[in-house]
Amino acid sequence: MPTNKSNGISNNVPPTRLERILRSRKNSKEPNPNEATDTNRGTEPFEGEGDNLGTCHVEQNSEADAIQGAHGDMCEKQEARPTRQRLLVVANRLPVSAIRRGEATWSLEISAGGLVSALLVVFPIAKRRLMHFFYDGLAGVKKFEARWIGWAGVNVPDEAGQRALTTALAEKMCIPVFLDEDIVHQYYNGYCNNILWPLFHYLGLPQEDRLATTRSFQSQFDAYKKANQMFADVVNEHYVEGDVVWCHDYHLMFLPECLKKYNSEMKVGWFLHTPFPSSEIHRTLPSRSELLRSVLAADLVGFHTYDYARHFVSACTRILGLEGTPEGVENQGRLTRVAAFPIGIDSLRFIRALETSQVQERINELKRTFAGRKVMLGVDRLDMIKGIPQKILAFEKFLEENSDWQQKVVLLQIAVPTRTDVPEYQKLTSQVHEIVGRINGRFGTLTAVPIHHLACNNSFQDRSLDFPALCALYAVTDVALVTSLRDGMNLVSYEFVACQESKKGVLILSEFAGAAQSLGAGAILVNPWNITEVASSIAQALNMLPEEREKRHKHNFEHVRNHTAQLWAETFVSELNETVVEADIRKRKVPPKLIPENAIKRYMESNNRLLILGFNATLTEPVDTPGRRGGDQLKEMHLKLHPELKGPLTALCRDQKTTIVVLSGSDRSVLDHSSSTELWGVRHVVSSRKWDVFTSHQRGMDDNNARAFKHGVGWQCRDVEFGKIQARDLLQHLWTGPISNASVDVVQGSRSVEVRAVGVTKGAAIDRILGEIVHSKSMTSPIDYVLCAGHFLGKDEDVYTFFEPEPLSDDVNMGKGKGTEALKVSSVEKKSSLKVSASKSGSSKSSSHGKTQQRPLPNSDKRTTPNNNSSGSGSGSGRRPSPEKISWNVLDLKGENYFSCAVGRTRTKARFTFGTSDDVISFLNELAAASCSGTSF
């Protein structure tokens, strides 16, 4: 498929997302003639595996295994394949650890811990077999050429050693990032492990005995940013146009922003493998805003579950005040897509492993060992979030309440010690050993104990539990017990289900594990903090009828078999590519930013100028406080003109050729108080009734604001997220009650609701305003320059299209715009006014900017002189000097002299945009300076 070199986007892109997805799936199913089929993937790796495997296989490695596999089996076959899109996988650790043997000699071993797998063999073995294991989990993206970028786990201060290690890693498709010891201590051990990891698992920030860590927070955060920048430097060095960059986990939250600063067109995805906490937890982090904004620089942000994605969007709306949408988070028109991508395992590998003689022998051995007893199994890291003490205490309670099971059940608890140098983990280890010893002493006999606790060291020297042994344990288990207090996903539950096709055992799963959202229907969900509930669930599982066990297992097995790690990786990368395509399509629809020089030049060349400006979020002083939740509520309730605008607006108003109109939803008194100049503050809602339903939504809510306008009613909530909920609730009340049969429009903002008469908009108000301007300013020449700028609701954006030039109709009189009613002025009428058809306000925007819009004033029927001023004449008719025969147009506007500008909005009908109100202030200052220098007063 031909691609655009700059961004990898197809030159023949289907118009809709559905068509693009269908075509992508069709292409993915087509076999690659250059790709050989490996029919022995499931069995070949186990040859000699018992002698080579040195790491206990637990959940942390299963999850990492899925990431590593994202490369696919491309290494041994890539020479025979056509050119493919490159995938740069960026994680804190490489899948290998380096050991220095000499000045320029290195040996490589499969890494332990982090996001990398500790599953397999030491490195100097056949490249094909290593790569088979190495990239097994991400085989779903075989169509990509993959590189892994990360830290090799060793300090290499000399250049010679760095060059040698880089060469050795290049053979394994790995690229190192060299971090010195101080950076590793502050960034990894400090900020990542002591700040982010506990917070994301709801353990909170360091307290009391760890105050020293809190005091050094800023230095750790600086090291965190520096390390992320170092990762970005390496990625940028190896980046080629069209590459996909996939960043992983909380270690690299700053990386997306760093990469986008290098190249805004770079395709960047970020995936979090831990839970993302609720906004109330995340907002306690001092660097909360910086981290969120950095992650939002990515094109696609992925999480294991919908709950984590929802928490992230909620944090962005509540902390940053950004717009949350069903697709993600929108900021200044840029959409960062946020979605859930549940990870899986390579289920086929486990299923095929059960068929090998090596695993079958171990299954038979375990059956003999535990003959006559039901087997319960727990496989965890010895970590505070895994709930191991709670699990064991629940098992003790079960034995207390069910004496008949005391000699008929055994709990096998596999625990891998982690961070053994940290006091909290040492305390946890001692606590587990103490509880196990007490229970075994209480319920054990001379021949058997109820708990077998195996502390499998996470190292290559301990070979007490290899992959075949783990598969055998899963296969003989009757009940798997997963009691995580908080877990990103927990793939132990997936592995157990994959190995249970024969026995159909029962899964007891913590509701706080991410896997609960995928396997909850077939598992028994428990609250691990409720010891009584877990004990009762154990009894339920052991006594469950075979029919129910089979039904539950079938449901979960289908999910595990179909939702694999390969599918997870392929889905994420394809969604990232799709997101970039959609962003490119949206970008083409975004109006360009206003070029001040052009607008000012046209302003100076014109003779009669009209400036129409919004008030809120355009001319007002800012209400947001950087780094704080939401804005200043007092400022929002009492809006004021920005102090830097009083001078420019005063200067512009003194220009006899310039008229300024301010449109606002605020009360007239607010505008009068904000400015001493002759600005036109106009209220345009037209109902004086205030319904009780508005006040009912305000009671007890200090940050809500229900207002009765002169001609209408409105309601606003300061809280971004809760405001949306209340606005939707209010709409339901309105449509089913007070306004069900009323001739009104309901206008909904992000946190507000307004009720107006049908057809009342800012665009419709322009008709009346033009008439007032003509009379009050004694106009003798048509308006030939219009600038309209504001942060208007979508319903009010007809103010932009109102002045758009339109082609003249053949059957319309000369000087009369198509579909518009002539503007008639008669000096002898009691109330002289200008009328324009309201249909004009709804007209569509012309693609041509060179056409002229004219709104004519026909000849008066009677002679008018300056002294012909009766007492009954309307305001303006007696003051407007006019010739005996007058015929001219109110508007003689050419397309190049019309500038409509939306402030802070990119989905707009306006021709141009201002990024923020600061851009408006800067422009008006320049405009006023030009006006003063070119006009004599």
Per residue in 764-808, pLDDT (tens digit) is: 778 778 877 777 766 778 889 999 999 887 777 888 888 886 543
Backbone conformation region of residue 683, classed left if phi is above 0, alpha if psi is from -120 to 50, else beta = beta
pLDDT of 358 reads 94
Confidence check: pLDDT of 183 > 90: yes
- Minimum mean pLDDT range among 297-301, 389-393, 656-660: 656-660
Residue 838 · residue 759 · CB < 8 Å: yes
- Minimum mean pLDDT range among 151-165, 325-339, 856-870: 856-870
Between 708 and 548, name the one with better pLDDT: 548
pLDDT of 919 reads 92
CA 760 to chain centre: 36
Question: Which pLDDT band, with edges at 50, 70 and 90, does 389 fall under?
Answer: very high
Confidence check: pLDDT of 308 > 50: yes
Confidence check: pLDDT of 821 > 70: no
Amino acid identity at 117: S
- 838 CB-contact burial (10 Å; exposed 0-12 / middle 13-18 / buried 19+): middle
The 10s digit of each residue's pLDDT in 592-605 is: 899 999 999 999 99
pLDDT of 206 reads 75
3 state DSSP class of 643: helix
Residue 769 · residue 890 · CB < 8 Å: no
Q: How far apart are CA 169 and CA 111, in angstroms?
A: 13
Residue with tokens 């004086």: 688
The secondary structure element, H or E, covering residue 759 is none
Amino acid identity at 747: V
Query: Cβ contacts of residue 467 below 8 Å, gap of 6+?
Result: 46, 49, 53, 57, 119, 353
Q: What percent of the chain has pLDDT over 70?
A: 64
The secondary structure element, H or E, covering residue 846 is none
Amino acid identity at 465: L
HSE on the CB side for 641, CA within 13 Å?
A: 21
Query: Cβ contacts of residue 176 below 8 Å, gap of 6+?
Result: 94, 98, 149, 150, 151, 152, 162, 165, 166, 169, 234
CA-CA distances (angstroms) from residue 68 to 6, 64, 99, 143, 883?
28, 6, 21, 15, 85
3 secondary structure, DSSP code: B
Residue 715 · residue 708 · CB < 8 Å: no
Question: Which pLDDT band, with edges at 50, 70 and 90, does 900 fall under?
Answer: very high
Q: How far apart are CA 562 and CA 254, in angstroms?
A: 34
Amino acid identity at 9: I
Query: Cβ contacts of residue 434 below 8 Å, gap of 6+?
Result: none
Question: Which pLDDT band, with edges at 50, 70 and 90, does 570 fall under?
Answer: confident
Confidence check: pLDDT of 863 > 90: no
Paired strand residues for 914: 903
Q: Dihedral, CA atoms, 921, 927, 933, 937, nearest 10 degrees?
A: -90
One-letter-per-residue 3-state SS of 821-889 = CCCCCCCCCCCCCCCCCHHHHHCCCCCCCCCEEEEEECCCCCCCCCCCCCCCCCCCCCCCCCCCCCCEE
**Highest mean pLDDT out of 543-557, 653-667, 842-856:** 543-557
pLDDT (mean) for 233-247: 95
Between 319 and 85, name the one with better pLDDT: 319
627 secondary structure, DSSP code: T
pLDDT of 144 reads 73
Between 164 and 843, name the one with better pLDDT: 164
Confidence check: pLDDT of 812 > 60: no
The 10s digit of each residue's pLDDT in 735-770 is: 566 666 666 777 666 556 777 667 667 777 787 788
pLDDT (mean) for 708-713: 57
pLDDT of 739 reads 63
Query: Cβ contacts of residue 108 below 8 Å, gap of 6+?
Result: 96, 97, 98, 99, 123, 124, 168, 169, 172
pLDDT of 19 reads 64
The 10s digit of each residue's pLDDT in 100-122 is: 888 778 888 766 443 443 223 22
Mean pLDDT, the chain, integer: 75
Confidence check: pLDDT of 706 > 80: no
- 360 CB-contact burial (10 Å; exposed 0-12 / middle 13-18 / buried 19+): middle
The secondary structure element, H or E, covering residue 315 is helix 306-319
Q: How far apart are CA 405 and CA 12, in angstroms?
A: 67
Residue with tokens 């030939």: 784
Residue with tokens 């650790």: 93
CA-CA distances (angstroms) from residue 654 to 444, 646, 659, 679, 925?
96, 12, 9, 11, 14
- pTM of this structure: 0.72
pLDDT of 731 reads 63
Between 527 and 774, name the one with better pLDDT: 527
